[in-house]
Structure 1
Amino acid sequence: MLANLILGIVWIGLGVFNVWEAENNRWSDYGYLVIGILYVGHYLFDLKNQYLTIENGTIRKNGLYGFRKRINLNEINWIKKFAGDYTLKTEQKELKINTELIDKDSLTELNKILAELNLPPEKTPFANTVYN
């Protein structure tokens, strides 16, 4: 998330320098500025919107540019955990969750919700885990 802000500032800096130093500006000289503004916009979107939303029996991963994935919790039939990330699977869909982007308290709540799903022990990493 912070990387988008840093990249945005760098691109905007390059754009300002390019426009400032060029004698005859072309439309393409403003490309750096556009890219920088898009990166800063992405950062602001991520800052305002949560990575995951769980409501009304669904889990939704929010994303900029209309990329939102949604899975009904009652349709999940397999949870895989690899390198700290979760992959939730249904018959037709798959949702990958990067746990590094989730606040510690929110991750505990997510683990609790996923542990409460009625899955066989071989299909969940939460089989022998109790959350209070």
Structure 2
Amino acid sequence: MKIKFKKKRLLANLFLGIVWIGLGIFNILEDYNLRWSDYGYLVIGILYIGHYLYDFKNQYLTIENGIIRKNAFYGFRKKINLNDINWIKKFAGDYTLKTELKELKINTELIDKESLIELNKILAELNLPSEKTPFAKLGV
């Protein structure tokens, strides 16, 4: 199961990529004295487009085979076994999943509404004491 990004975030990366690429092409076509920074605009645009494509394909979180994995374009993937989670903290809308050795922060502002409902269901089903989960108080 994939926990999806909000469409607004995905479209922002796509828009920024197009703008940077357009700026780079404009600078290359208009400027007779090319500088390395003119090509830098193209590189930044390509990175934004790459970020959009990666996020569109992989989304924010992947939950499969009892493992929750946070996907990141720049190689900072974190994963935690759902059975190893012994504490879920909720602060300012963000979740922090803690095990004995690892910690995974989930920014709920980035998550699509329907996906957030699914994530809440999965986290509420974990067998945790009521003082170690925000879901016991909510009755989710």
TM-score past 0.5 threshold: yes
The 8 Å contact of residues 58 and 73 in structure 1, kept in 2 or not, is answered as yes
For residue 26 of structure 1, what is the amino acid of its counterpart? Answer: R
- Aligned sequence identity (%): 82
Q: What number of residue pairs does the alignment pair up?
A: 131
Q: Distance in 1 between matches of 2:59 and 2:34?
A: 39
Deviations 1:38-61 (A, max 9, x none): 101111111121211111111011
Structure-2 residue corresponding to 1:41: 50
**SS in structure 1 opposite 2:68?**
strand
Deviations 1:4-57 (A, max 9, x none): 122212211221121112112234421101111110111111112121111111
Shift of 1:93: 1.0
The RMSD of aligned alpha carbons is 1.6
Q: TM-score, normalised by structure 2?
A: 0.84
Q: Distance in 1 between matches of 2:120 and 2:37?
A: 48
Structure-1 residue corresponding to 2:6: none
**SS in structure 2 opposite 1:53?**
strand
For residue 16 of structure 1, what is the amino acid of its counterpart? Answer: I
Shift >4 Å, 4+ stretches? none
Structure-2 residue corresponding to 1:97: 106
For residue 47 of structure 1, what is the amino acid of its counterpart? Answer: F
Structure-1 residue corresponding to 2:97: 88
Q: Distance in 2 between matches of 1:130 and 1:86?
A: 17
Q: Distance in 2 between matches of 1:57 and 1:9?
A: 38
Q: Distance in 2 between matches of 1:29 and 1:105?
A: 41
For residue 113 of structure 2, what is the amino acid of its counterpart? Answer: K
The 8 Å contact of residues 88 and 95 in structure 1, kept in 2 or not, is answered as yes
Equivalent runs, 1:46-85 vs 2, <5 Å = 46-85=55-94
Shift of 1:130: 4.0
**SS in structure 1 opposite 2:34?**
coil
Q: Structure 1: where are the runs of 5+ without partners?
A: none
